[in-house]
Chain A
Amino acid sequence: MSTPIIQVKGLSKQYHIGLREKSTRTFREALTDAFMAPVRNLRNLRRLTRVEHDSPDIIWALHDISFDIQPSEVVGIIGKNGAGKSTLLKILSRITEPTSGEIRLHGRVASLLEVGTGFHPELTGRENIYLNGTILGMRKTEIDRKFDEIVAFSEIEKFLDTPVKRYSSGMYVRLAFAVAAHLEPEILLIDEVLAVGDAAFQKKCLGKMGDVAYQGRTVLFVSHNMPAVRELCPRAIYLADGSIALDGVTDTIIEHYIKTSLNKINKTPHEFIIKAAAGSGKVTPLSVIIRNGKGDKSSVVDMDEDFTIAVTYQIHEPINNYHTFINVYSTDSTHVLGAATWDTHGLNPEVVSQPGTYTCSFSLPGHLLNKGAYTININGQSPGKGFIYQEENAATFTVSEFGGTGGAKSRNRPGIIRPLITSDIARLDRGDMDSQT
């Protein structure tokens, strides 16, 4: 292997976090406190930039990180919020300096921690292209040369001489990304910038970034967008609590990342307690519990596994023909499905439910919902007599994929439902169908 283009050795970064100050009780204390405040403030401010090793108010955003990156590698950096991903990029792009350790970079670095850095709302698109370009480290001649290309990519030709404050947010982002996409450094550092813009433009950006990767550039890509990381980066580094938890082939790392983050969630059984529901009061809902395929309480269920949604409720006075109804909505408020207890038990006006506490469980099959977050509305009703109670957003759950075996199966699919659909392929120009079955 050739010499690494990025060498990170024992990198650490410390931050001071504010501690709660003790409160004063008496007037005298408050008065002395007010007079002593400048001294205390000065001490606190001075400490802000000093390196300390055993103070209660410091956190290590990064702790002893080391890794090498070879030229033209494209590496994804994943990890939960606060794991140190952004701090790492900030140090690599020289925005902030490390507390200890060192980095050797062989090549021109451009960092994209945000699109549109330095855009001024009063300036026109044209002026902002130059301003933003030079801020990102381009020379004027370089921008002159790429100007037409940038404008074409941004699709805002008509508004080039309009102040960007009159742009729609989509146009703004397109222009900003267009400038950034035309940077030509050897090393490109990107932080979550794809979380903006409409879907079509995001695709275009991903395509452009794919280009960047294929042009032999070294890219470090911080993202929560696992499909994007999987698509762009053959290698991934998983940061957890400021240290490298894993470093290796992206598919393996992502699988591990999802498993560990789900395990954490699974440890706290999820039970959605309902405080006060709108309704007549004859029946009150108590809780909604979601159980995954193993029967454990969890708000995260596997895409492949059956799961149950159990509604617990209390009946206060005898009631005829009482039924529970659930509605499931996706995050974009699409009504995905509705289910009622009468589907199974039938409607019978003669049946009287006696006071007591009940649970009804709805069994939902696996291979039904696509990955994503869902919310549940519940209501109790006596069909024909209206609602006894209604509870919006009674519970939420996430359908995830962690039993996945990788490959094509683990790719994102469009749509809300994701049933297992089999297919047959038959060759029509010859008679022997046997080989296809």
Chain B
Amino acid sequence: MFQILQGVFVEMSSQPFTHIKPKKGLQLINFRELVHYRDLFAFLVIRDIKVKYKQTVLGGLWAIIQPFFLMVVFTLFFGKLAKIPSDGIPYPIFNYTAMIAWTYFAGAINTSSNSIVGSGSLISKVYFPRVIIPLTSVLAGLLDFSLAFIVLLGMMLYYQIYPTILILTLPGLVVLMMLTAGGVGMLLAALNAKYRDIRYTVPFLVQFWMFITPIVYPASMVPERYRMIYALNPMTGVIEGFRAVLLGRTEFPGEMVLLSAVISLGLFILGLTYFKQVERYFADVI
């Protein structure tokens, strides 16, 4: 055993140097540190996934039940009763395609905005790059997203709707969705550490946001001249993009997606920057 210990000592003799002092000015991301903590990141994601459906009867089915039953309700009320157009696509699959993206997005924002406050016991006891915490929720949510996606594949078979070659851009759209969720999540998580109003704002925000995103209706319902303003919401491009590449009945909304990409990247940078500026006082205010 001593042999091993000795070995480790030699290996670590590079002697990392830490300088602790009050931080002033713009805080940048320490990528080397993030790389060192990548295992922690992985284990936190695994933890979130493993713990999520512990002691439930339906387990992972919950990931499907939520978007699926919402889709059923929306189909009844918006599709059948209100007769909202759906770009010539059967309403259930039109809506479900958007629902899986939205369920992921809403869930990621919900958990990440509460993540810093919820991890108070960790933050006040041990140091690690704090930014890992809100981003964990963004990654862990992808499993539920994939499960719900499988159901979408089944529906595509049922409706005989097949994706186009553009499906190759789907990973890019998923990344945009994650960037938006991550940016908003980090921003809200950081704000929530000090201003607990955020906890009450998030459910309201998510609901509001859902109605300005083309989920129960198509973006084509929005008058042409307002469409680019409408597309400032990055989830618009993502969801219209999802429909175009998966269902292949509508034109790929290139301009919207480009705008979404710019905005979601901007949101991510904004969220990360704000988070880095205020993370130094998390332990003191939680």
Contacts and interface: CB of A to CB of B under 8 A. Distances in A.
Contacts of B44: 131
Interface in A76-112: 90-109, 111
Interface in B27-69: 36-37, 39-40, 42-44, 46-47, 50-51, 54-55
Interface stretch (B178-186, B211-219, B262-270, B276-284): B276-284
B231 to A, nearest CB: 34
Given A135-B40, A184-B8, A117 B20 contact: no
Contacts of A215: 5, 9
A93 B126 contact: yes
Contact of B284 (A49, A100, A108): A49
Interface stretch (A136-144, A249-257, A378-386, A404-412): A136-144
A186 interface: yes
Contacts of B21: 97-98, 101-103
B20 A118 contact: no
A123 interface: yes
A317 interface: no
B22, B40, B50, B126 — which one has the most chain A CB atoms within 10 A of its CB?
B126
Interface string B174-204: 0000000000000000000011000000000
Given A92-B20, A120-B51, A131-B43, A108 B123 contact: no
B121 A117 contact: yes
Interface string A303-323: 000000000000000000000
A94 B17 contact: no
Given A97-B280, A123-B50, A184-B9, A135 B39 contact: no
A48 to B, nearest CB: 6
Contacts of B17: 104-106
Interface string B86-109: 000000000000000000000000
The dominant DSSP class at the B interface is helix
A263 interface: no
A93 B23 CA distance: 15
Interface string B121-148: 1111111100000000000000000000
Contact of A106 (B15, B47, B128, B195): B15
Interface string A177-188: 000000010100
The 3 lowest CB-CB distance pairs between A and B, nearest first, are A134-B40, A103-B20, A102-B21
Given A100-B22, A131-B43, A184-B8, 18 more contacts: A48-B281, A90-B124, A90-B283, A92-B20, A96-B283, A97-B21, A98-B21, A101-B21, A102-B19, A106-B17, A108-B16, A109-B18, A111-B127, A117-B121, A117-B126, A118-B122, A120-B51, A122-B50
